[in-house]
Structure 1
Amino acid sequence: MKESFYTRTTDGKELYTVFWTSEQNFIKGAIQLCHGMAEHIGRYEDIASVLNQNGYHVIGHDCRGHGETAALTGEFGDYGTHTDFTRLADDVIEVRDQCLSNELPVYLFGHSMGSFIARRVIQLYSDAYEGVVLSGTNGPLGLLGVPATILASVLSAYQPKGKAELLNKLSFGSYNNSFPDSNTPFDWLSSNEAAVKQYIDDPKCGFVSTNRFYKVLFKGIDMIYNKKEINQIRKELPILFLSGKNDPVGDFGKGVFKSAQLYTNAGIQSVDVYLYENGRHEMLNEINANSVIDDLLYWLNVKKQAGVK
């Protein structure tokens, strides 16, 4: 059963929220979804259905600047004023606390931008989750991160709500270069042509975000790689990295393993990496999505049986 409503945050924001309730006799737990940049929670209908069939409730919200949350104000691609990654993490935990029972184990699944937000969430609230899945994530920005953050800050100071065409091009412009037979600017998302077409045809996807958005995003990514912040994560929290080997966001696997190593170095006891040959950015929309979902379910069930807390 699917229910949609708005969750009001402590700073007064109305977040469009969708709750897919499992009708199985035995409920294993709940999965909280955190979607990616320039998309929305509605794109996760299929995975929610499969998780429901396997005994998991599923919940997710449209992040600030996205989907029906943005539709309330027309601010697509803009986080708004006074927003940083800590506020975005607070949004996630407030949806969890208002909508989910503490009697069930809750797992956090974040994709792309959502994976970055999820990584801030577990720095602050790792006790709230039984495990976390990071899909389509990346390693540290490295030397490119400093000029990118400076540029975003300068542009944001002069035109905070201006469309960040330059930053968008610098961030995503080269992603299709690794796929010479591309037919669209978004072929880097998936080798599944039908899934790419659905993304392109969706009016709530593919928009260019604002300068202010990128400023928050780059500073947030820098924050999630701060070793002091990483050390706040409880050591028993299971973490799964799930990515395609041909994902340019994850630097074709190298960035994924760098991220995993950071958590291992911090003493996290259970860090797994599922890296898929020929997979691109959206593994849940790849041609082998069914196998990916089977692997995800296996991981969830193993961690649940282990009872790691």
Structure 2
Amino acid sequence: MSEPTTFELAGHAGKLHAQRWPAPDQPRYVALLCHGYGEHIGRYDFVADRLRADGAVVYGVDHVGHGRSEGERALIDDFDKVVDDFRLLHKHAAAENPDLPVVLIGHSMGGMIAARYGSLHGAELACLVLSAPVLGRWDVIDGLLDGTIEPTPLDPSTLSRDPAVGAAYEADPLVWHGPFKQPTLQAFHTELERINKGPDLDDVTALWLHGKADQLVPYAATLEGWRVIADEGDHAQTYAGARHEIFNEINKLDVLRDVTRFVNQFV
């Protein structure tokens, strides 16, 4: 597994920690990784390694308030600002690889960000992959906003059937282990409303992947949002028994094989 190089970007609320995983040979495409809530891009080494083996040079960034980036921990007051931050990564990667197609892969909250990015800048992407994205509605957010759900930290057992994944998550000092913050909850709600109003994913072909046993971001609610934004020609794939982090699930090799098969239709 290759060690990534690191660099910084000037985000909307301070310095952003970014990483680049080089391709083992001449790269065929650029893959941008967009991580989920409370975590950081360092948790995607395995995903990056599989993409590198497929011929990608891979880039990722810790969102504001996450990982090694600046900002109050796990505080996001407007996700469109995070979309703008992610655009800095895209421009940086494109400048370093001007002749290569660019693929965007987002997970969970990062899937929501990626969906918004695809609706605004899809013409600049070869394709889009959404892993267990927050789309449509997220009842957890609404319950926390109206006080019907107790604001507790994420349950690591919801991530994967592999207990080592939850244990590593709990022990990771760069992961946010506290409860949601009120401005972040409201920002989720606002961003979902924006995505539901459009524009749709008219300019980029997308693949939605989801575990059917996902308790954190349930499949049914995301399906509602997917039907709103998906265009003719977009694709969906589900995995029976899989929980939220399908890139860390016991069938992760199958999932990532599905990702690279899809991507290779467009690069």
TM-score, structure 2 normalization: 0.89
Say yes or no: does 1:222 pair with 2:216: no
What does residue range 60-99 of structure 1 map to in structure 2 within 5 Å?
A: 60-70=60-70, 75-79=72-76, 83-99=77-93
What SS does the corresponding residue of 1:104 show, helix, strand or coil?
Answer: coil
What SS does the corresponding residue of 1:302 show, helix, strand or coil?
Answer: coil
Say yes or no: does 1:291 pair with 2:261: no
Identity %: 25
Aligned partner letter, 2:116: R
C-alpha contact 2:109 2:134 (8 A) present in aligned 1: no
C-alpha contact 2:137 2:222 (8 A) present in aligned 1: no
Aligned partner letter, 1:39: E
The alpha carbon displacement at 1:230 in A equals 2.5
**Higher normalized helix content (fraction of residues):** 1
TM-score, structure 1 normalization: 0.78
Say yes or no: does 1:249 pair with 2:216: yes
Which whole-Å deviations, capped at 9, do the CAs of 1:60-116 have from their partners, x for residues lacking one? Answer: 00001100004xx5x21113xxx4122111111111112323311111111111111
Distance 1:242 1:145 in 2: 21
Distance 1:132 1:216 in 2: 23
Aligned partner letter, 2:75: D
The alpha carbon displacement at 1:261 in A equals 1.7
C-alpha contact 1:236 1:270 (8 A) present in aligned 2: no
Distance 1:277 1:105 in 2: 32
What SS does the corresponding residue of 1:168 show, helix, strand or coil?
Answer: coil
Aligned partner letter, 1:14: K
Report which of the two structures shows the higher radius of gyration computed on alpha carbons: 1
Which whole-Å deviations, capped at 9, do the CAs of 1:36-82 have from their partners, x for residues lacking one? Answer: 01100000011111111110011000001100004xx5x21113xxx
Say yes or no: does 1:130 pair with 2:113: no
Q: Which residue of 2 aligns with 1:162?
A: none
What SS does the corresponding residue of 1:77 show, helix, strand or coil?
Answer: coil
Aligned partner letter, 1:91: D
For structure 1, the 5+ residue unaligned runs are 153-165, 174-184, 305-309
Distance 1:298 1:20 in 2: 20
Q: Which residue of 1 aligns with 2:98?
A: 102
Distance 1:12 1:64 in 2: 7
The alpha carbon displacement at 1:167 in A equals 6.2
Which whole-Å deviations, capped at 9, do the CAs of 1:123-181 have from their partners, x for residues lacking one? Answer: 221122111111112442278876755x49xxxxxxxxxxxxx6634xx77xxxxxxxx
What SS does the corresponding residue of 2:17 show, helix, strand or coil?
Answer: strand
Say yes or no: does 1:275 pair with 2:246: no
What does residue range 180-191 of structure 1 map to in structure 2 within 5 Å?
A: 185-191=155-161
Q: Classify 1:146/1:36 alpha carbon distance in 2 versus 1 (closer, same or farther; 3 Å).
A: closer
Q: Classify 1:191/1:216 alpha carbon distance in 2 versus 1 (closer, same or farther; 3 Å).
A: same
C-alpha contact 1:137 1:249 (8 A) present in aligned 2: no
Say yes or no: does 1:121 pair with 2:104: no
> Pairwise CA RMSD of aligned residues?
2.4
Q: Which residue of 1 aligns with 2:108?
A: 112
Q: Which residue of 2 aligns with 1:181?
A: none
Q: Which residue of 1 aligns with 2:7?
A: 5
Aligned partner letter, 1:128: E
Q: 1:192 aligns with which of 145, 162, 165?
A: 162
The alpha carbon displacement at 1:206 in A equals 4.1
